[in-house]
Amino acid sequence: MSTDPLRTAPAGSPATQTAPFGATAARWIGRRMHRREDIRLITGRGRYIDDLNRPGTVHAAFVRSTVARGAITAVDTTAAREAPGVVAVLTAAEVNSPSHQFWQTMTGPESVGTPGRVLADSDVRYVGEPIVLVVAESRYQAEDAAELVEVDIDAEDPVLGFAAALAEDAPRVHPELASNVAEEVPTPEIPGLDERFGSAPHVFTETFDQHRYLCVPMETRGIVSQWDPWTRQLELAISGQGVHEPRLFYSRMLGIPEDAIHVTMGDVGGSFGQKMFPMREEHAVVIASRLIGGRPLKWIEDRAENLIGGGHAREERIELRVATDERGVLLAAEADHLEDVGAYPVPGNGMTAGTGAVMFPGPYRWAGPGSVRYTGRAVYTNTCGHCAYRGPWMMETTGREQMMDVIARDLGIDPLEIRRRNVISRDELPFTTPSTLVYETVSPAETLEQAAELIGYERFRREQEEARGQGRLLGIGLSLYVEPQFGFGHLGTEAATIRIEPSGKVNVYMGTGSHGQSVETTMAQIVADELGVPIDDVRVVQGDSAATPYGPGTGGSRTGAIAGGAAHAAAAAMRERVLGIAAHLLEASPDDVEMVDAVARVRGVPGGPAVTLAEIAAVAYIDSDALPSGGEPGLEVSKRYKSPAFMFSNACHAVTVEIDRETGTVEILRYVVSEDCGNMINPMVVEGQIAGGVVQGIGGVFYEHMIYDAEGNPTTTTFMDYLLPTAAEVPDLEYGHVVTPSGTPGGYKGLGEGGAIASPAALVNAVRDALAPLGVKVNRQALSPDRILDLIDGAGRPAGTA
């Protein structure tokens, strides 16, 4: 069940005074439309990387380390080289080069990162690290040959966990580096902060642990690489989040011109950040394809490889100290953020605390400038490296929103009430946070109230009290947040090229790389609406570096606002050109001409002269002498949009749960989201994006957990052990929308990561609330049934007893 798709905040609030899409409803923008992509995707007609079978394709398999840390003493590839079908067996000696550059465009050439190597050479640094690449006529032959490779490793004690990495005498994960600290946010000097804590009526300290879990896309990583030694051209087909960043990366890495590299991508079965940046396995395949010369080389990651070495996320800890007055009004905060980024994080050093520091104040006032201090450190360990994951800075919300509930309970204030006393409302905008961000188009108070209304907060509290009298464990959790969309550097621009063909059909070329965001649908809605043409006449082309304008790819919740801005700008410029030609043909002023359903006519003259878009296009291309004086032949327009440095959406999540005392299982009774992402291009897509993030939060809190043993071996390496939520574990989500248009074209904001950012804290807070009568302390995840049973069994037990 879901609420009305355009439901706004309660009557009388500022949000209800703004119409969602202006006085006149748009024809395509704002319409709840089925995704155009689904016609092929849900019927099994999608075109994924493994569907690409070029003539002469050979296949790759990796020999990986079975040891977390140790010295390689011997690698014997003799038997593998003689195995049937083997084309090449490559080690670090053939693949690694000191000239290779490994930096990503987003981080820049001066960014701090791990020592650059493609295959392990003298030592190994995590279980799953690639050591040898085998190329054979089939994947079966490659895997069979890989099993013949003998690798001798003298195992050493691995560095596992924060304490081991930071120990004074700790061995270094990377001997080339000075320490295991990958990066840090230094302690800033904030005059007066200590005095704020010293004079505060209440000071609370708590530490929250976030366990390691993974992106787990439906489709694993994959690449097909072909080097043509005669034309010296590299052809790459990828499963990724965009084509232009891999093109730039491999140009730098291989030292060949960008125009010698052509990158394409088809359908992508999810990524969630994992495929944003090429990783070591892709590097090895690209280099190997140059070494074998001429034949396409394919590598498709299997699920075990994906779980063990495809990139991990979320293993973090945050220690918070918060000062309040007697009423729970926030006065000051200190946060210390620790991140375990594994051995080879991507991108850069994998640290997210910098973004966490900026976003930590969230939707609350605090006490103005100088009231919040945030420090952070990222450490290397002998585990799989972290990769980007939906909402990588989510620890600031996970910690802050749990802390709000801890403070509320200690002060005897309801968690909803304490948020009401501190939340920013729209009548306070523009609002400058303690981290100097300026909020201009957010509505935290309004989404808080709408979520409370939708979940029936007061009614639930009454039901909860009655249930507790019966011994039942019911709880409710809230999580309020502000989600950023970053628009600085190369992330701040996107371009669109629109070409109307002589037939009158519209092609839109964009540098986006959709992997589940419905870009083909939403960008077509924008262009069709702006041009005044049927949406079926608009085709969105992406995923081809030779055909589309440069863009950093789809990620970071940027597409709606930034790519949408480019689509708006290009379509508006094209409309002006088209209407100029139409006005000339109709002998009217361009200001008097409108286009509806690809037919231009003089406004206010029904049944009068008209000209179709196909007729206009024919003049532009074929009968250019009929163009107005000085008119440019053809119908092709390119525009690039530059966004503000920061844009913000916001939302509130509310969830109710019941815990079974006997089994420790958690049943989610209801899950409500009140979202403000500005004007919605497609409410169905908005709600789909929210749902996807929420499901990942449910999986992370209750099911998913990547566990390493004391020797650094990953133990949850199949879906028998690494659990994912299914439809049976996910409730029907309910949605409300507060609409605060942004200042970007169309008034859109990003929201792709918010569901994954807010859901963990809301779910943990609900469990904390359910277990409150037992006096249970909940400050770490994962909350699996056995863990919850341990908490219940330990309730009331004296400290220090078993």
Per residue, what are the HEC states of 91-141?
CHHHHCCCCCCCCCCCCCCCCCCCCCCCCCCCEECCCCCEEEEEEECCHHH
305-359 residue pLDDT tens: 999 999 999 999 999 999 999 999 999 999 999 999 999 999 989 999 999 999 9
The answer to whether residues 318 and 395 touch, using CB atoms and an 8 Å cutoff, is: yes
Beta bridge partners of 316: 210, 339
784-800 confidence digits (pLDDT tens): 999 999 999 988 555 44
pLDDT for the residue numbered 119? 98
Alpha-carbon span 345 to 317, nearest angstrom: 17
Question: CATH number of the domain at 54-156+217-271+275-309, please?
Answer: 3.90.1170.50
Q: What is the pLDDT of residues 629-677, one digit of tens each?
A: 888 999 999 999 999 999 999 999 999 999 999 999 999 999 999 999 9
SS in 3 state form for 159-207?
CCHHHHHHCCCCCCCCCCCCCCEEEEECCCCCCCHHHHHHHCCEEEEEE
Predicted TM-score (pTM) above 0.85? yes
pLDDT at 797: 59
The domain 489-642 is placed in CATH, from the list 3.30.365.10, 3.30.70.60, 3.40.50.720, 3.40.1360.10, at 3.30.365.10
pLDDT higher than 70, residue 76: yes
pLDDT digits (tens, 9 = 90+) for 249-265: 999 999 999 999 999 99
Q: At 513, which helix (H) or strand (E)? A: none
> What's the mean pLDDT in 432-442?
95
pLDDT more than 90, % of the chain: 90
**Looking at residue 112, what is its pLDDT?**
77
Torsions phi, psi of 715, nearest 5?
Answer: -110, -10
Arithmetic mean of pLDDT over the chain: 93
* Dihedral angle over CA of 672, 674, 680, 683, nearest 10: 10
Alpha-helical (H) ranges within 587-724 are: 613-621, 683-702
pLDDT tens, 681-691? 999 999 999 99
Residues 6+ apart with CB under 8 A from 257: 251
Q: What's the CATH number for 312-487+645-792?
A: 3.30.365.10
Do residues 763 and 704 touch, judged by C-beta distance below 8 A? no
Percent share of the chain, pLDDT over 70: 96
Q: Find where tokens 């390119």 sit.
A: 638
At 98-138, the pLDDT tens digits run 889 999 888 888 887 899 999 999 999 999 999 999 999 99
Q: Is the pLDDT at 9 greater than 80, yes or no?
A: no
- Residues 372-400, mean pLDDT to the nearest whole number: 97
Query: Phi and psi of 372, rounded to 5°?
Result: -135, 130
Residue 24 pLDDT > 70? no
Residue 4 banded pLDDT, cuts 50, 70, 90: very low
Rounded to an integer, the average pLDDT of 581-589 is: 95
The pLDDT of residue 603 is above 60: yes
d(CA 277, CA 245): 8
Over residues 422-449, the mean pLDDT reads 96
11 — pLDDT class (breaks 50, 70, 90) = very low
Is the Cβ–Cβ distance between 128 and 304 less than 8 Å? no
Per-domain boundaries in the chain: 54-156+217-271+275-309, 312-487+645-792, 489-642
How many CA atoms lie within 13 Å of 30's alpha carbon, on the beta-carbon side? 19
Same fold for the domain at 312-487+645-792 and the one at 489-642? yes
In the numeric block, which tokens belong to residue 320?
A: 């918070």
The pLDDT tens digits of the residues spanning 280-312 come to: 999 999 999 999 989 999 999 999 999 999 999
- Helix, strand, or coil (residue 215): coil
Q: Can you state the percent helix, strand and coil of the chain, rounding each to 5? A: 30, 25, 45
Tell me whether strands 70-76 and 150-155 are parallel, antiparallel or unpaired: antiparallel
Q: What was the pLDDT predicted at 488?
A: 83
What ranges make up the beta strands (E) of 301-355?
Answer: 312-313, 316-324, 330-340
